[in-house]
Amino acid sequence: MAVISTTAARRRLASQVGSHLFLAAVTAAFLAPVIWALLSAFKQPVAIIQRPLDLFGSGFTLVNYVRMFQDVPIGQGFFNTAIVLVIKGAITMLGAPLAAYGFAKYTFPGKPILFGAVMVTLMLPVIVLIIPLLLEMKELGWVGTYQALILPGSVDAFAIFWMRQVIAAVPDELLDAGRIDGCSEPGVFWRIVLPAIRPGLAGLGVLTIMNIYNDFVWPVVVASSSKMATLQVVLSTLAQNIAGHRISADYASVTGELLAASSIALIPLLVLFILLQKHFINGILAGSVKG
């Protein structure tokens, strides 16, 4: 008996060590590019290229950030992204759970077709709609306006799909109890469903912020003028600059600016994620783990 338990214990230890080795390697691969960029942005441009792995030994400088702020309208980008984030985010956070509630808890004529519409939107690549959507915006005179950035895709199909699963897990008895107590149908949604799915909503919130902040395909088409460009669009123009400079001797300083710009775009989301990681992960998990 004692022999068996020591072999078992040894095997368990070996598997623990193996797990940690594998996970540590994967984790290093996941984190290294981001950490390298964040730290390299504070190095002298020449040092970034000549000693890329020497992250601390070559002195601290803000020259990359200073040049980047001079060359790139990054503040304007942040401002535009913030406006879109607040308004589009609010529409998604209200509209998606509401529609999801309709789909999850009611049967009504036309429901299969309408939910099919959600699924089709889910499968439809954004890029497929870009041509007609752009023409529609031209027709409306909306090219280069906030409403063009905000309205298309504001009640997101994935959010509906996900929230429908979350709301389906709320027991019908709970809703009936609310109705017995005199809640109207919107009241049931507002006072019972929304509080019951709070973890899922928090997850949806973080995911929505992330999606809007990172959105690129539509903004680059409809708002490429520098006045309306969102942060990601501003960033991408910088990348095209670097392609132009590739041959020239200035490669180092453009690389430095690029890393500074990438870092400053990364940081808000990283901070948000580190602060709200529980909500984010729990939100994704909420659909399958029932309380």
205-264: which residues touch another protein (CB under 8 A)? 210, 213-214, 216-217, 221, 231-232, 235-236, 238-239, 242-243, 251-252, 255, 258-259, 261-263
CB of 249 to another protein, least distance (A): 12
CA distance 119 to 161: 8
205 burial via Cβ count (<10 Å: 0-12, 13-18, 19+) = middle
CB 144 within 8 A of CB 220: no
Q: What 3-state DSSP class applies to 2? A: helix
- Secondary structure in 3-state letters for 189-255: HHHHHHHHCHHHHHHHHHHHHHHHHHCCHHHHHHCCCCCCCCHHHHHHHHHHHHHHHCCCCCHHHHH
Binding status of residue 172 toward another protein by CB under 8 A: yes
The nearer residue to another protein, 146 or 216, going by C-beta atoms, is 216
Binding status of residue 8 toward another protein by CB under 8 A: no
CB of 144 to another protein, least distance (A): 16
Tell me which residues in 173-212 interact with another protein (CB under 8 A): 173-174, 176-177, 179-180, 185-186, 189, 196, 210
Tell me which residues in 262-291 interact with another protein (CB under 8 A): 262-263, 265-266, 269-270, 273-274, 277, 280-281, 284-285, 287-289, 291
Tell me which residues in 74-133 interact with another protein (CB under 8 A): 91, 94-96, 98-99, 101-103, 105-108, 111, 114, 117-118, 120-121, 123-133
CA distance 231 to 208: 16
Closest CA to 231 of 70, 78, 71: 78
Binding status of residue 10 toward another protein by CB under 8 A: no
